[in-house]
Amino acid sequence: MSHSGWKADPQDVLRAGPGFDLSAFDRASTPGWSGGKDAAEEHLSEQGERMSELQERLFAHGRADGTRSVLLVLQGMDTAGKGGIVRHVLGMVDPQGVAVRSFGVPTPEERAHHYLWRIRNALPRPGYIGVFDRSHYEDVLVVRVDDLVPRGQWEPRYDEINAFEAEVATSGTVIVKAMLMVSADEQAARLRERLERPDKNWKYSPNDVDVREKWWAYQEAYQAVLDRTSTDVAPWYVIPADRKWYAWLAVSELLTTALESLDLSWPPADFDVATELARLAASDPGAARP
């Protein structure tokens, strides 16, 4: 682990353990990091190189019939910066090895299946870093807040999700769950910017204000997610998101740690290197076309 600049391991300080209280969580804080923004940006680009090598190793492992993968689950209110994580953190590694999937309102086909159907279909294949921009957690967040199904139907989902994630982990996927938490004031500022800047209008949806009106119901639903689904096999990390640079840094650190935990070495060649070198040396096509 490279922790220069970190005063405490982000894995420890950001993990939602028993009794974690979201209402007391400072969304402008920078837990574990006291180096400031410039140092964070510098650290992030160094982290990018480290992550990139680990990701390539994972990809090579996948090519060599390996079974491991990483899944980054991103949850958070509108403007929390889920897209920014994809662009600024995952953007530092080879896009070939990253599979991003966004989950919106279920399509009629998705709705005809169990809510985990579309999630299972989107799980990363061996060798890949999968990223979920929203996830199965919407089925206990928006679904709970908006009463999209009766309580008797969403209530058992917490346990069901835990069992599902345990199964995914057993199959070889390291799950990193990041809950990006923006403050109500910062959300207002970001939504205003999306309205005032024509180049950001596309990110805005009139529905964002409807959702914002239900802020406290969402906070309660997020708290329930933390209370019931922060497991040993797939703990939640709660990331203060008012400072984007901190959120990027924190997620890059969590992701790097996950990649390191795979402890992968470069797969051995499935050919004889000496023979191939000899063949290559003998294969000179010559300067002129015959």
Out of 74, 143, 225, 259, the only residue in the binding site for ligand AMP (CB under 6 A) is 143
**In this complex, which beta carbon is closest to ligand AMP, that of residue 104 or of residue 152?**
104
SS3 readout for the chain? CCCCCECCCHHHHCECCCCCCHHHCCCCCCCCECCHHHHHHHHHHHHHHHHHHHHHHHHHHHHCCCCCEEEEEEEECCCCCHHHHHHHCHHHCCHHHEEEEECCCCCHHHHCCCCCHHHHHCCCCCCCEEEEECCHHHHHCHHHHCCCCCHHHHCCHHHHHHHHHHHHHHCCEEEEEEEEECCHHHHHHHHHHHHHCHHHHHHCCCHHHHHHHCHHHHHHHHHHHHHHHCCCCCCEEEEECCCHHHHHHHHHHHHHHHHHHHCCCCCCCCCCHHHHHHHHHCCCCCCCCC
Site for ligand AMP in 42-101 (CB under 6 A): 78
**Is residue 28 near ligand AMP by the rule CB under 6 A?**
no
Contacted entry of ligand AMP, Mg ion, none for residue 234, CB cut-off 5 to 8 Å set by kind: none
Provide the minimum distance between the beta carbon of 204 and Mg ion in the complex, in angstroms, as a whole number: 8
**Is residue 117 near ligand AMP by the rule CB under 6 A?**
no
Out of 32, 139, 222, 249, the only residue in the binding site for ligand AMP (CB under 6 A) is 139
**Is residue 138 near Mg ion by the rule CB under 5 A?**
no
Provide the minimum distance between the beta carbon of 77 and Mg ion in the complex, in angstroms, as a whole number: 9
Site for Mg ion in 64-83 (CB under 5 A): 78
**In this complex, which beta carbon is closest to ligand AMP, that of residue 66 or of residue 130?**
130
**In this complex, which beta carbon is closest to ligand AMP, that of residue 123 or of residue 148?**
148
Out of 138, 165, 186, 253, the only residue in the binding site for ligand AMP (CB under 6 A) is 138
Binding residues vs Mg ion (CB under 5 A): 78
Binding residues vs ligand AMP (CB under 6 A): 78, 103-106, 134, 138-139, 142-143, 148
